[in-house]
Amino acid sequence: MVQGRKITGGKYHKQRKKRFHEKIRQEREVTIKETKKKTLRLRGGNRKVVLLNANSANVLDPKNKKIKKTEIKNVVETPQNIFLARQNRLLKSAIIETSLGKAKITNRPSQEGHVNAVLIE
């Protein structure tokens, strides 16, 4: 039996097309380069700023409760997949090397448009 055909040979037709909000978007990979952002249109006409590349992070120092914008030097480790650290991908819970020291990313940079991190002792 041929895929997409009835037993009589007739075709199956889709009931409707996919709506704009149902479409699968391209997966974004945030890497260490000159900061680059993109604005997407969402359902209801809302906007979302997504990050494509980043070279700085907002790092929280837990000792004196200060947030400082610092430069990202390197991705040290990613718990999800060791190969993503080699490619310098910035994702949640990745450990990065900054000018202040090692820090752990606490947000999702590909969804939020910036990188937040907390210093690790």
User: From CA 121, how far away is CA 119, in angstroms rounded?
Assistant: 7
User: From CA 106, how far away is CA 13, in angstroms rounded?
Assistant: 46
- pLDDT for 1 equals 57
At 81-92, the pLDDT tens digits run: 999 999 999 999
The DSSP secondary structure of 40-107, one letter per residue, reads: EE-GGG-EEEEEEEESEEEEEETTTTEEEEEEEEEEEE-SS-HHHHHTTB--TT-EEEESSSEEEE-S
The whole model's pTM is what? Answer: 0.80
CB 97 within 8 A of CB 32: no
- pLDDT for 28 equals 86
CB 95 within 8 A of CB 77: yes
At 12-32, the pLDDT tens digits run: 988 899 888 888 878 889 999
Q: Where are the domains of the chain?
A: 28-119
Phi first, then psi: give them for residue 8, nearest 5 degrees.
Answer: -85, -10
Residues of the chain with pLDDT under 50: none
CATH 3.10.290.70 correct for 28-119: yes
- pLDDT for 86 equals 93
- pLDDT for 27 equals 84
